[in-house]
Structure 1
Amino acid sequence: MAPVPGGYDRNVKTMRVRLPYADRAEAGALLAEILWDMAPRDPVVLALPRGGVAVAAPVAERLRAPLDVLVTRKIGHPARPELGVGAIAEGGRPVFDSEMLDRLGLEPEDVAEVAGRERRELARRVRVYRGDRSLPELRGRDVIVVDDGLATGGTARAALRAVRTIQAGRGRVTLAVPVAAPETVEAMRGEADEIVVPVTPENFRAVGQWYRRFDQLSDDDVLGLLAGAGRDG
C-alpha cells in the first residue's frame, strides 16, 4: 500500500507511513521513535488491553519507562451489547456517548445496570492483570496512554479522563496510537495534552485493516508482555 500522507499541528502529531503495519510490534516501534524525540519527563506507559499492550511494550522499552495496563470496558446498549454507548476505565467514572444516547432515546440511568456489570468485570480483569498491585504513581509524571488504534475513541476517552482524575492536574497526558480515524482524532482534541498518531487514513473502517497480522491476544499474552517489561515505577 502506498504511503498515507499526514501532517503536523500544535497538539496532534502525524507523519508519512507505509501501510499496513506488519504487526503491533512494528507499529509500537514506530511510535517509540516518535515519543523518544519528544523527550517525555519521567514517563509511565499505560496500555489498553489487550491489543494495546503489544504496541506499548516496545514504547516502554525505548523510553526505559514502566509499563502497565489501564483496564477499560465498553458499556453496551442493554438490548444490543455490541453497540457501544459509553465506556469506563479503572480510576474513572463512566463516560457516555451523549449523541448516541440521544439517537437511541436513552438516558445514562437506562444503562446503569449494564455499567454496573462492566464495572465488576473491569475489577476482575484488574485482578487478573495486576493482582493486588496498584497503578504506578502518575502525579507529576508524563503519562503515555497507548492502544493499537482509534476507531470511535470511546474507551480511549474514558482512559484519558481516568488518568486526568488520578493525576489531579499534576502531569502531562499523551495519547499514542499507530492509526486512527481522522474524525475521531478531531473529536479527541482536548482529551490529552498531545495526540501522537502516525497516520489517519480517510477510508478508515476498522483498526485491523491497517495490520497484516492482527491476532487476538489472550490474557496470558498480556501477562507475558507485562512480565517482560519494567512494570514498577
Structure 2
Amino acid sequence: MSLTLDQLVYGVRMVETSGRADGYSTVNSIGAVGAYQVMKANVPSWTREALGKAMTWQEFRDSPKAQDAVARYKLGGYLSKYGAEGAAAMWFSGQPNPNSKASDGGNTVRQYVDKVVKFATGKASSAAQAAAAMPTLGRSVYTAQQAGYAAAPKTGTFGAPVNPYKLPGWIASQNQSAGGGAAQAGFGDGGGLVSGGIVPWDGVSTVILSTIFVLGGLGLVVVGLTNAVSPTVGAARDKVTSALIPGGKAAGAAAAAKGAA
C-alpha cells in the first residue's frame, strides 16, 4: 500500500480524534494529548526532535501547529523506513508489523492499520466515520507511543483481567528508551504499575468486593463466638426469646422434662 505522508497523517488523525477541530485540545484520562493522541511522557522528547525545543504537554496541547509538525515528523520517519502500513502499525503498537494480532481490547494492529488506510484513501464508510467521531475506550483512542501491550490477556491475583485495554499510562509511558519514538513502547511489560505488582484499576472492584465478603464473614464469626461465651449476651437472647415465643425458655425446659419422663 502506497500512501503519501499527507494521507497517512490524515488517516491517523481521523482514527484518533475523527478530525474534529477540538481534537487538538483533547487530553484523555490516561494522558494522551491532542489530535494524534501523543502521550504526555513523550511530548518533551518528540517536540525536541521535531521542533528543536522541548515543550510541556500543556504547551503542546495548546499548539495545533506543534501537533501537526510532530505527527508529520514521526510518521514521516516511519513511512520512509517501514512503508505506510508499517508506519501506522508503529504509531499504534510501537512495532512495524501491520499483521500483528496484538490488541488494545478494541482493535488488533491489523484492524487499526486498515482503518487508517481507509481514511487515508477516502474509502472509510459513513459508519466508520461516525464511529471515529465518538471514540471510546479500546476503540482506537490509545495510540502507539502508549501501546506496550501483548496479545495474550492476563489475569491478576484475584482473577480480574490485568489492564485489559493495555492502557499506556500503565505500561508504555514508563518503558522509554534513549532512542525515542514509538519504539520506546514496545510489546510486553516495561515497568509501571502492572509489572510492579500493584493491583490495576480493573481489579479494584474485585478487591473491594472480596474484602467486604471477608470482613462480613469475620463479623459473623465474632458475633457467634460472643453469643456463645458471653453470659450477658446469652441472657439478652433468652429475654428476647421469651418475649417473642409464648412460654419461652420455661416452655422449652418443660417440654424437655416431659420427654425425659
Kindly indicate which of the two structures has a greater share of residues assigned to helix: 2
Range into which the TM-score falls when normalised by the shorter chain: under 0.3
Kindly indicate which of the two structures has a greater share of residues assigned to strand: 1
Q: TM-score, normalised by structure 1?
A: 0.26
Largest Rg, 1 or 2: 2
Larger RCO (CA under 8 A, 6+ residues apart): 1
Q: TM-score, normalised by structure 2?
A: 0.24
